[in-house]
Amino acid sequence: MPPTVTLEITNGSLTGREFDFSAPTRCLIGRGKDCTIQIPDSYDSVSRHHCVLEINPPNVRVKDLESLNGTYLGGECIGRRERTSPFERILKDGDELVLGQSRSSASRSLALSIHTEAAPERICAVCGHLASVPSGAAMLDKFVCATCRVDSEAMRRHLEAGDEAGAGLSAIANYELLQKIGRGGFGSVFLARHRVTGRRVALKVMLPHIAGDPMMRQVFEREIENMKALHHPHVVELFEDGSEGGVTYFTMEYCALGSVSSWLKKRGSALPVAQALELIFQAIDGLHYAHHAAIPNVRLVNGTYASGNGLVHRDIKPCNLLLDEVAGKVVVKVGDYGMSKVWEQAGYSGVTRPGTRAGSFAYQPRQQVRGYRDSQPEVDVWAMAATLYFMLTGSTPRDFPPHVAPELVVLQQPVVEIRERNPDIPQRLADAIDSALIDDPNIQVKDIAAFRRSLELAS
């Protein structure tokens, strides 16, 4: 039997109500209609968006979303509005969580009991804490806990401390590694040269102790399988994949001009309208293709495989639009399909981790924050509009104040109209972009081709 997590409400009108989770998910709790677990108004100490539970059975992590009356674990306040201490805690079996303590009436708070299946524990190589070992994980020398695996910053520090992604590594298979050009939670990306053909490629490796986790391995393998199915001038092409010396790798097109993000940083200013549109149209073409591509090998939660149609990228942002020069022209290629998913099976693969942080909140609509695993192509449309917004203004559509939970910003704060950032943008173009960034209560522009048409009509 797979591990499970059960949340049991232990007070008020919902006493005895249980919620069972056997697959990774993000569970938003509050009185808002868009919450995963919507709490009635009788629990009026609970905020509209009170907290989020990031569940990867048997692991659970709670994050307070700057609630007015706080989130309490064992009587200790672990987060509330205007509190500077950490807002997140790892939960264990038997923990009692109280949302919104109230002096006047206990029934106004919400009490939750956490029940999880016992699992073997090991010391995490990143944070040093004891943590549950996922079912089926390989018993390697190093173990990384579920919390650290979704914390890209923690993984970055870990890799930098030991430089494990490339220590002593000068070649893999037929490739000579020239220099490290990127680093992430899985490992590193190298500029490499094929020893026979001389072709320069980007080579991505996965660290052995990360590959030992079955779910992380599935994510890496999913990126490979998805990229194998994509062949388009504006999508990064996969060339080869394999494993050598315990290191799993794949090679793909190397885009020598970097990303849209790095390009703007070097320029020190936003792009002119004509140039921004030329680039975004290419990216839209690549994304439109991916949204309708046939994907032959889709792994389902039961371990079987099926065919599907269309990938939702789920991580469109300026640093994932890569630039190369072809015949003297700058060409955009959509890259990093590590978080992509066949949208027809959204929520059914069981691979997406709770609280996945590869995607940046600045380029996610409300719908994606509420239900990352179930994302549909419309979230990519919103993200592409947000990326164009950034190209034209140098700013993201929402402001993210320091010390404010980014999830809460996305869920509650409106998008700043683009002409407030850059009044020189033509009104018709601004209207098209602002319309594509409407995500409350629903995303207004759901099809990437429709977004392109609106931009063409406005330009």
**197: in domain:** no
pLDDT at 46 over 60: yes
* CB-facing half-sphere around the CA of 180: CA atoms within 13 A: 16
In 110-161, DSSP assigns E strands to: 110-116, 121-123, 130-132
Q: Which of 89, 117, 145 is the last residue of a domain?
A: 117
Lowest mean pLDDT among 241-255, 286-300, 351-365, 416-430: 351-365
In a domain, 160, yes or no: no
Residue 230 lies in a domain: no
> 57: domain range?
4-117
Determine the average pLDDT of the residues in 393-420: 93
The answer to whether residue 242 is domain-embedded is: no
175, β-bridge pairs: 172, 194
Question: Average pLDDT for residues 372-384, to the nearest whole number?
Answer: 87
- Average of per-residue pLDDT values in the chain: 83
Average pLDDT value for residue range 46-54 = 93
> CATH number of the domain that 43 lies in?
2.60.200.20
Among candidate residues 62, 92, 117, the one where a domain is terminated: 117
For the ranges 85-89, 155-159, 286-290, the maximum mean pLDDT occurs at 286-290
Give one DSSP letter per residue of 349-405, joined into a string.
Answer: SS-SPTT--SS-GGG--HHHHH-GGG--THHHHHHHHHHHHHHHHSS-SS---TTS-
In contact, 372 and 351? CB cutoff 8 Å: no
Would you say residue 25 has pLDDT above 90? Answer: no
Q: How confident is the model at residue 355 (pLDDT cuts 50, 70, 90)?
A: very low
Could you read off the pLDDT of 285-323 as tens digits, one per residue? 999 999 999 888 666 555 566 677 889 999 999 999 999
The tally of CA atoms less than 13 A away on the side-chain side of residue 2 is 15
Task: Tell me the C-alpha distance between 24 and 30, whole Å.
Answer: 20
pLDDT exceeding 70 applies to what percent of the chain? 76
As a whole number, mean pLDDT of residues 257-275 equals: 95
Listed residues 96, 117, 138: the one ending a domain: 117
> What pLDDT does 202 receive?
95
Q: How many helices (H) and strands (E) does the chain have?
A: 12, 25
Q: Domain count of the chain? A: 2
Q: What is the pLDDT of residue 346?
A: 40
Query: For residue 222, what pLDDT is reported?
Result: 80
The whole-angstrom separation of Cα 421 and Cα 391 is 12
pLDDT greater than 70 at residue 347: no
93-132 burial, b at 16+ Cβ within 10 Å, e below that, comes to bebebbbbbeeeeebbbbbbbbbbbebeebebbbbeeebb
Interior/surface letters 159-171, b for 16+ CB within 10 angstroms, e for the rest: beeeebbbeebee
The CATH number of whichever domain residue 337 belongs to comes to 1.10.510.10
What count of other Cβ atoms lies within 10 Å of the Cβ of residue 20? 11
Q: Is the pTM of this model over 0.85?
A: no
Q: Answer yes or no: is 326 within a domain.
A: yes
Tokens at residue 452, please?
Answer: 């392109």
Looking at the DSSP bridge assignments, the partners of residue 25 are 55
Does residue 441 belong to any structural domain of this protein?
yes
Please tell me the predicted confidence (pLDDT) of residue 161. Answer: 47
Whether 92 maps to a domain, the answer reads yes
Residues 6+ apart with CB under 8 A from 248: 205, 206, 211, 217, 220, 241, 242
Short-list 180, 181, 176, 171, CA closest to 194: 176
Q: Is the pLDDT of residue 29 over 50?
A: yes
For the beta carbon of residue 295, count every other beta carbon within 10 angstroms. Answer: 23
Kindly report which listed range (11-15, 27-31, 53-57, 264-268) carries the lowest average pLDDT score: 53-57
* Residue 228, domain member (yes or no): no
